[in-house]
Copies of this chain bind each other. A is one copy, B any other.
Amino acid sequence: MGNADYLYPSTNEYRQCAHPVAVPPPQPFFKSFKNSLKETFFPDDPLRQFKNKTPSRKFFLGLQYFLPILEWGPRYTFQFLKSDLISGITIASLAIPQGISYAKLANLPPILGLYSSFIPPLIYAMMGSSRDLAVGTVAVASLLIGSMLGDEVNATENPTLYLHLAFTATFFAGLLQASLGLLRVGFIVDFLSHATIVGFMGGAATVVILQQLKGILGLQHFTQSTDIISVLRSVFSQIHEWRWESGVLGAVFLFFLLLSRYFSKRRPKFFWISAMAPLTTVILGSLLVYLTHAEKHGVDVIGNLKKGLNPPSFGDFVFTSPYLTTAVKTGMITGIIALAEGIAVGRSFAMFKHYNIDGNKEMVAIGTMNIVGSCFSCYLTTGPFSRSAVNFNAGCKTAMSNVVMAIAVMFTLLFLTPLFHYTPLVVLSAIIISAMLGLIDYEAAIHLWKVDKFDFVVCMGAYTGVVFASVEVGLVIAVAISVLRLLLFVARPRTFVLGNLRNSTIYRSVEQYPTTNDVPGILILQIDAPIYFANSSYLRERISRWIDEEEDKLKSTGETSLQYVIFNMSAVGNIDTSGISMLEEVKKITDRRGLKLVLANPGAEVMKKLNKSKFIETIGKEWIYLTVGEAVEACNYKLHTCKPDTTNEDSQPWNNV
């Protein structure tokens, strides 16, 4: 016993060595409520820079906050202008054919694609905080607008109403985007995880490519649906209608575009080849048609484009039912998707060039540019990845490149639109396909499979949903699976047994560290999630099973019987009243079995709740330790000096009924 005494000092002495577990000092309810509101809505503390400033300085900072051009404008140099000029003209050459193509995708007049590359970039240049984002329309949102509005109004039968609905939807999209930013709930966009976006973009690109079969094959009739089955049925049911002239032209241009992309990818210096390629194909295609009169032999052309700048459209909004609902719904969904792309693109390039982007501020900028755009005949715009990448590669320095692009587009609108009369639609289809092929990121999907199977499932859910059902279905599936994962993490937390690392007082999972030693007579469990209503029943079952299994194991090996159960609470971030009831029930179960329950390292929130609910008194303050090591030491001490003092007074003969 002399040796044991040396190892395990008397209880009181022992308690003095051990570190007490603190209950955090009580905070007034209002203060803690304010804190958690701040953490939820203002995690980046945007008002910090306003501290200790004079009112006029504060006003100017506030103005700068909403108009970053006031910040970088005064420092703008001629050197910057040169770079921005080159990149601006480059993206304009991409914006013009892409704008026309995507507008066709949305069943809107082609000229709208040019309008949309004029006003919104100017707004963004003033309000945006990204230096690399190039503003323009995007394929996925265009397709969505086409399919969602098309369900309500037929674009060919009632083009005016359809057009007005598109403006209204854009207006609501902008309103939603700006509100999300102003209300600081931009974190909603975070629920579109990386995996969701990979799958969603891939699916949408597949759908868009399938839609192009209409243009490539020169078909007159085509299904309104976007799912792969309807589209393929539509294509193959009219084989006799396929136009070979159109098909050959499309294949040639597509080959040229893909070749130029391939070159640029291998040598980043030749980025301009792929940037200029679309405009080149448009020029070549138009010339070809003009010279051969192919428009009379089954090659459809754009036809007349109106000359002149954006006409105002704020009088055209449709606020009457039943169209209002459709417009709002379309605006919401396309707005969120466009926002997610814009934010993600802005953030990626900012990361690359080492500057910061404020997500909420960006949302306000993108939202405002759509609200203003919808008043001047523009439809939904954001920062497309392809165009921004070209902008970046062309060496843009500030958002001024957007202004340059806008001026180039304005020039086109004023003087050059007649030149597009003979542009064959098949060229536009080829441009879209070549852009979309880059969005099917199978390498990212493989990476997801390797690193995280669940993320892969989310990605595939989004992809198949989009391709086989519709864009909305794919999105809903992906978000639902992602949220389910979060809920499952809480509802089915991992629990595992800890063992002692050799020659230390460190305790770690026996699964992760197979060399750890068991501690005789003591079961150490770690719970890896907050204890909430959603998991309290599960945890009770699972803990009982751990104890059963441990007792079975000890019985079969004939070792010391189980005496203590230690919960390592390090990873238990919070607990609610259902969780506390669970602990109380577990306490009763362990008492009944003659085991002692010990807690190790409960955090601040948990200690606060345990204290308020008097569970600390139920379990006994002396059974809560700061570390697993100290808890084990104390248990070992008691184990070697006396039997545990569990009281069995409420164990009953019921067990034997």
Contacts and interface: CB of A to CB of B under 8 A. Distances in A.
Interface of A: 19, 22, 24-25, 29, 33, 36, 39-40, 43-45, 72, 75, 80, 131, 187, 190-196, 351, 353-356, 359, 397-398, 447-448, 450-455, 482-483, 485-494, 496, 501, 504, 506, 508-509, 511-514, 528-530, 532-538, 541-542, 544-545, 570-571, 573-574, 576-578, 580-581, 585, 588, 592, 603-605, 607, 609, 612-613, 626-627, 650-652, 654-655, 657
A20 B300 CA distance: 68
A452 B577 contact: yes
26 contacts: A19-B501, A19-B506, A25-B514, A33-B453, A39-B542, A193-B578, A194-B578, A194-B581, A195-B533, A351-B585, A355-B654, A355-B655, A397-B657, A447-B613, A455-B577, A483-B487, A485-B532, A489-B530, A489-B532, A489-B574, A490-B490, A496-B604, A508-B626, A509-B604, A570-B571, A571-B573
Contacts of A545: 43-45
Given A489-B530, A657-B75, A538 B607 contact: no
Contacts of A609: 451-452
B354 A652 contact: yes
Contact of A577 (B448, B486, B513): B448
Q: Which of A19, A25, A627 has the most CB of B within 10 A?
A: A19
A47 to B, nearest CB: 12
Nearest to A39: B492
Contact of A488 (B40, B353, B504, B570): B40
Nearest to A610: B451
Nearest to A515: B22
B455 A576 contact: yes
A57 B487 CA distance: 39
A613 B654 CA distance: 54
A22 B483 CA distance: 30
A526 to B, nearest CB: 9
A40 B492 contact: yes
A481 to B, nearest CB: 11
A240 to B, nearest CB: 43
Given A25-B514, A452-B576, 8 more contacts: A39-B542, A44-B542, A451-B613, A486-B534, A489-B573, A490-B490, A493-B573, A509-B603
Contacts of A578: 193-195, 455
A540 to B, nearest CB: 9
Contacts of A40: 488, 492
A191 B534 contact: yes
A613 B398 CA distance: 34
Contacts of A191: 533-534
Q: Which of A492, A513, A541, A576 has the most CB of B within 10 A?
A: A576
Contacts of A581: 194
Contact of A450 (B195, B351, B485, B612): B612
Nearest to A353: B654
A193 B354 contact: no
Contacts of A534: 187, 190-191, 193, 482, 486
Contacts of A494: 39, 573, 605
A604 B398 CA distance: 44
A581 B197 CA distance: 14
Given A29-B453, A613-B451, A655-B354, A573 B528 contact: yes
Contacts of A24: 511-512
Contacts of A75: 657
A75 B512 CA distance: 47
B451 A577 contact: yes
B489 A194 contact: no
A528 B447 contact: no
A354 B594 CA distance: 13
Contact of A511 (B454, B482, B604, B655): B604
List 3 tightest A-B contacts by C-beta distance, closest first.
A193-B533, A512-B604, A528-B573
A514 B489 CA distance: 32
Contacts of A592: 354
Contact of A533 (B33, B36, B482): B482
Contacts of A353: 652, 654
A454 B576 contact: yes
A417 B489 CA distance: 55
A437 B478 CA distance: 46
A627 B191 CA distance: 32
A492 B450 CA distance: 27
Nearest to A512: B604
Contacts of A487: 483, 486-487
A588 B353 CA distance: 11
A581 B75 CA distance: 33
A359 B538 CA distance: 10
A75 B655 CA distance: 13
A651 B187 CA distance: 29
A448 B612 CA distance: 10
Contacts of A39: 492, 494, 542
Contact of A538 (B187, B447, B512, B536): B187
Contacts of A450: 612-613
